[in-house]
Structure formats: structure tokens, C-alpha cells
Amino acid sequence: MMLCLSEDPLCLLSATSDTTTTLAPFDLKSFIRPESVDDYNVKFRGKTVVDYVAEKYKKEGISFLIGDLEASQGAFQYFGRKEDQVPLIIIQTPGGQKFLKPNLQTDHITSWVKEYKDGKVSPYKKSEPIPEQNNEPVKVVVADSIQDYIKSEKNVLLEFYAPWCGHCKKLAPILDEVAASYEKDSDVVIAKFDATANDVPSDFDVKYYPTLYFKTASGKVLSYDDEDRTKEAIIAFIEKPRDFLRSPPCEFPIKSKSSAPLFLQQKNMKSVREVKRK
């Protein structure tokens, strides 16, 4: 059984006696095992525990939903939960934060909801395990490690993808080539994030796959909106706003005594010193 509570006033939740659920306007589901129904009909002060808690917290903006586990496997997977964790209670806020308690018995529902209201429950974050080895050119980022990349003093190109997405599969070898181009540039990181297996942080707005963002070393976040997803276009997107933490690895022109531009290379450092003296 999963009991779902929502603090979104637009998320209207209800449960009928046959455990059929209605929900509007979001496609949010909850679950209950048929054999568990009797457990959740236990009376407390003349009402079921669920009815009592729902009525108690309705005035505080929390709505309640009980759903059918067997009929809603897809939604159960959305929360990244397993069947052996039922009975399960989940609270989802308007901002997308989730708070949950697995294997919660009826006599603990009231106390757990009170702990949540008192700010004593930490938010839940769906995340794959952090890779023990991450040596591929395109780094694997998960929900538990993404803040390390966001807060790092690196220029990071981050792809949000879905494993089943055809466009993502087409982009994968291109990102490998982009990553190979920056193999000797430690200031740039190319990374990917499975948005179906990890909670996407609020720093990013992911509405389709693939979605590309570039975070500069100074913390600016830019979205890649160009339909051109070639290697050259993506590199150009990185190079324009990127921050150089050390001397730029690429060549750039300097002024000289001759009309033709010189380029900053080891072979003409003497000419650079001459220009500075001038």
C-alpha cells in the first residue's frame, strides 16, 4: 500500500471505498495491495486512521490519495520504489520535493506526518548509485553527484537523456567525439544524466530528451536550443561562453611589426616580448 499526500492545492486527491482513485490535474498515482485494505480500515476515534489524518491535515493544505499497487506499476517505478517497501507513504510538495517512509504501519501514520510538518523529515531524492569508476570520456552524473558538478570550478556540458530516446542514442557518439576533443583540457567536462532514473534538480528545466545545458566555471547556466547537434556546433556552443581557468589552449592573434598576425605559440614567444616592449 502506498499513501500519497500532496501539498499542492491544485492537486485534488480522493479515495473511494473500493480503492479506485481520482486525481487532477496531475498524473500522480499511489498504491495499495488488495490484502492490505482491512489493515487501513482500522478505526481510530470512530474513523479509519487514514480518514482521521486526512481530515486533521486538510486545513493545512495536505490532500490524501490511496491507490492500487497492482494497477499502477508504472507510477510506482516513477517514484523509484520497490514492492517490498509497501506499506509506503509519500508526500510530494508543489516544488517537486518528495518525502517518504517505507514499510509504515497504520499506527505510525499520524506521528510521521507530524514529524514532516515539524520539519524533522529529510527530503527523498531518487538517484542511481554514484559510479565507482567514471573513466569514460563522457562522465556519468547521478542525482547524488550532480551538485558536485554544478558547484565545481569547471566548464560542464551536461546532457539530460532517456535510455529509450532515439534522438539521445543518435547524439551519444557525437558527445563522445566532443569529449575526445577536450581530452587534454581539464577545464571542460562532458557529462550525461539519466533523467528517468534520477530526480532532476530544480536548477534545470527538462521538458524533452535530450536536453543540453552548459555550466561555466563561474556558475552561469545556459541551455542549448539549437537544432544543430553536430560536433562542431556543440563545441562552438561550449567555446563562446566558457571560462578559462588557465591560459587558453587555443591559438589567438597578437599584433606585430609586420602586417600579418602572429599567433601565441612557443616558437614566436620572442616576438611576443618584442611587441610588449613596443
Q: What share of residues in the chain are helix, strand, coil (percent, to 5)?
A: 30, 20, 50
192-203 pLDDT, tens digit each: 999 999 999 988
Segments making up each domain of the chain, as ranges: 2-117, 139-239
Split at pLDDT 50, 70, 90, the class of 68 is: low
- The position carrying cell 490535474 is 25
DSSP 98-148: EEEEET--GGGHHHHHHHHHTT-SPPB---PPPPS---SSSEEE-TTTHHH
CB atoms within 10 A of CB 96: 12
Burial class (CB in 10 A: 0-12, 13-18, 19+), 92: buried
Query: In sequence order, which residues have a C-beta less than 8 Å from that of residue 61 and are 6 or more positions away?
Result: 7, 9
pLDDT at position 244, please? 67
The more confidently predicted of residues 43 and 240 is 240
Q: Which CATH number fits domain 139-239: 3.40.30.10, 3.40.50.2300, 3.30.360.10, 3.40.50.720?
A: 3.40.30.10
Taking 90 as the threshold, does the pLDDT of residue 179 lie above it? Answer: yes
148-163 pLDDT, tens digit each: 999 999 999 999 999 9
Single-letter code of the amino acid located at 61: G
> In the predicted model, what is the mean pLDDT of residues 216-238?
94
Mean of pLDDT over the chain: 74
> In the predicted model, what is the mean pLDDT of residues 129-135?
95
pLDDT at position 113, please? 85
pTM over 0.85: no
pLDDT at position 271, please? 36
> In the predicted model, what is the mean pLDDT of residues 36-57?
61
71-115 pLDDT, tens digit each: 666 666 777 777 777 777 888 787 778 888 888 777 788 888 889
